[in-house]
Amino acid sequence: MRMFHGLFAPATVALAALLAAPGAARAQGEAMTKEGVIAGSMNIDFKTRTQLDTSGDLKPGSAALNVQDVYSFTFAVADTVEYAGKVTRQPNLYSKLIAKKKQEAQLGFDINLSVLNPKDLKQKVAVGKWVGTVPIDTASGAYDLAGGAAKQSPLRIAIDTRGKVTGFTDAFSGRLVGKAEKKDSLAAYTFKRVVGNRTVSVVVKKSDPMRFDNIKLAKGPVDSYPASYVSGRLDYDYETGNWYTDGIRIKYSLDGKDYEDLVTGSIKWIEDPDRKTNGKGRYEFNLRWNEEKHKSGSTEAAAFDKMAEEDAFFAVDDSVPCLTGTIDYVDTYASGGGDEPVPASSKVTYKLNANKLTKQQIMSFFKLWMVCTGPTNDE
């Protein structure tokens, strides 16, 4: 367990109160509007693209045995929680002659969890870990969030007991069905959204759905962040690099009251004009929570009336609860990539902004996004 020094007794008391999460803290908090509500950096080392097999035992072009892609990061979420650690990803590997499987594809999580004193964010204490293994069925694109249990490594959040605060362990479950391995059957799909008083749409010609099948996101790191249950889809557009959703449902309960959010919108990929040389690009987030319930009033709606349909679709309407901001990438390319170079490593900077979202909504989305680490970061 990683410990942090310089923590004074008054801060320890304050953090213990936070960990205990008394009744007032457990109720769904007030909606917050804040820049950088999910902020930090990630370094990605695509070792499977640069450390290739030299034994001659594996299929040509395979990564070497036991080589993994590594996603290392530190993120601050909703002001008072820090996630610091890494996710690893390894591919299936097959023998050269008879295609015997020599290595199973999987994700590995090793993340330290800390909470910060809301009265002094320089003070923090390590409270537990997010750890475990997620097997990947590359034929179907399925990530089995409960599958690590068969390897004695279930994906879970494990919180330590501290003083009067009782620790807990809570597991993830369900399936994330990621990008399809075969692209020839991808179909067109039309996404719609409400902007002001208008319903606008965009047609995606090759839509690759990333589906959430009864996913359970474990609770924590404190009791005020309950387990949440996710269904729906987030679709990838191979022509533009954009992500779209017309419905991610997130359900959870606090103090006997049930909540359900419907997340809709887009995550737009923007490439720098000189990306092939400078490696720069970014995701622009425009996700909305329960937009049908929060339609713009007449004053706000007028701003969208004269926009072209596609411009209106991607416009940010901050009269509704939403997550906006950017995830910026600076890629370094592998040698010999040809006309479409492939990143060998990436430096990634998160600055996502909350508009009228609760901490529970922010935390649930962040956990879901981290579960999607592979599909959302790889080209």
| pLDDT, tens digit, 9 for 90 and up, residues 34-84 | 999 999 999 999 999 999 999 999 999 999 999 999 999 999 999 999 999
Taking the domains of the chain in order of start, what are their residue ranges?
37-108+177-208+222-377
Q: What is residue 74's predicted lDDT score, i.e. its pLDDT?
A: 98
Q: What is residue 298's predicted lDDT score, i.e. its pLDDT?
A: 45
Q: Which two tokens stand for residue 79?
A: 């002001």
Q: What is residue 377's predicted lDDT score, i.e. its pLDDT?
A: 84
Q: What is residue 181's predicted lDDT score, i.e. its pLDDT?
A: 60
Query: CA angle, 206 as apex, 310 and 62 as ends, to 5°?
Result: 130
CB 283 within 8 A of CB 326: yes
Whether the model clears a pTM of 0.85, i.e. scores above it, the answer is yes
CA dist 152 → 91, 129, 134 (Å): 20, 16, 11
How many CB atoms lie under 10 A from the CB of residue 156? 21
CA distance 292 to 303: 18
> For the chain, which residues score pLDDT lower than 50?
1-15, 20-26, 298-299
DSSP letter for each residue of 70-134 = EEEEEEEETTTEEEEEEEEEE--EEBTTT--EEE--EEEEEEEEEEEETTEEEEEEEEEEEEEEE
